[in-house]
Amino acid sequence: MSPETLVQLPNLTAPTSPYDSAEFDAHVMATYARFPLTLERGLGCRVWDAEGREYLDFVAGIATCTLGHAHPAMIEAVTQQIQKLHHVSNLYYIREQGDLAKWLIEHSCADRAFFCNSGAEANEGAIKLARKYAHTVLKIESPVILTAHASFHGRTLATITATGQPKYQKNFDPLMPGFHYVPYNDITAIEEAIALLDTPSRHVAAIMLEPLQGEGGVRPGDVAYFQRVRQICDEKGILLILDEVQVGMGRTGHQWGYENLGIEPDIFTSAKGLGGGIPIGAMLCKSFCDVFQPGDHASTFGGNPFACGVALKVCQTLEQDNLLENVRQRGEQLRSGLKAIAQKYPNLITEVRGWGLINGLVLNSDIELTSSQIVKAAMDDGLLLVPAGPKVVRFVPPLIVNEAEIDGALQAIERALAALG
């Protein structure tokens, strides 16, 4: 059954009172360049604004609302868990945390899980784990972590340093030491960096990459590149960390992004879609992570019963409803449709790329049209999209999206391009 048949919400199409955005701006820090839109309700792959207008949501909280909005499984999980136990300290055993960790380990290459609240925190944990392993096991005095240009790993001081995009780092120096950047999908650059950084006291301890760069323009990893990186890591005792915050949890048509590449990481991170919109993050790793001892790392809210209980229901629903197959089918439908549109507008669009239900429409770099302009035009037509840089429009709908909704999105983006082109 669809969520519409199981959940009754108040008259979603009826306008509500207008929202005073000026009052919002007077009280909330201006850390986002917000579109002039106030969303108030959602159901499935659709949301409604304060005036009652309906939109197809192909942003999904930026690849976060795995099951869309107001999904009955999540409503049931939230309701039951909040009535039972929502938060206790990690000083005690938490049944829901253990159950979620077991599910994730049984459905991945990991042996252990650490829970936190976000993707940035998960990546922070991975960085700390890699550094402790380097110091205590590899006996490296000054460990270095290689990351890629155009990557994105979070907004904390360590994770913006790991992020290979200067625009995120501007005015936040001095940045954390111990990171070095290389071009993505360039194996020669990896090999040269390892040789360059190899001194008596300094070595590359880890390589941290996204299987597909999301914020960096929806750029899929090259299979041969990642397999060679894995081989180099094995040969040299380097840890391979994969940031699965955006591409994990079924987004690519596999449970994890690394499955598209035919490799296994030593550490990988998850967040966004893991809780379907309820804040949770996870760092998952092979058994070497036992180098972390009590007191080495912690999170007050990480792994609490509420977040873990809901996340487990999201995981179970992905499996029980066979949503990975839906992701593969709908992703192919979306890419085929976008490629057909690209052929109609060769002066505007140069490429369509992606996996599953994370896809990018790449704009011609020689024209002035930006991704934000297209996002705004699509919004005016009732379709919500998100930029992935100035020249890539990103499509990341909920994983429950159906054939008719993909068709509706394709029609809307074509109208938006026609209006701009």
The dihedral of CA 157, 63, 380, 412: what is its sign?
A: positive
DSSP conformation letters of 307-347? HHHHHHHHHHHHHHTTHHHHHHHHHHHHHHHHHHHHHH-TT
- Point out the catalytic residue in the list 49, 57, 226, 243: 243
Catalytic residue among 58, 114, 152, 395: 152
CA dist., res. 165 & res. 216, Å (int)? 8
User: How far apart, in whole angstroms, are the C-alpha atoms of residue 415 and residue 38?
Assistant: 23
Nearest to 126 by CA among 104, 91, 159: 159
Q: How far apart are CA 37 and CA 409, in angstroms?
A: 19
The distance from CA 225 to its chain's CA centroid, rounded to whole angstroms, is: 21
**Of 410, 414, 402, nearest in space to 45 by CA:** 402
Catalytic site includes residue 313: no
The 8-class DSSP code of residue 261 comes to T
Q: Is 272 a catalytic residue?
A: yes
- Could you give phi then psi for residue 240, rounded to 5 degrees? -105, 115
Q: What is the DSSP letter of 365?
A: T
Angle between helices 223-236 and 187-197 (to 10 degrees): 20
Catalytic residue among 49, 226, 272, 292: 272
Q: How far apart are CA 300 and CA 297, in angstroms?
A: 10
Q: Which two tokens stand for residue 401?
A: 């999206």
Please report, as a single letter, which amino acid is at residue 95. R
Catalytic residues: 152, 243, 272
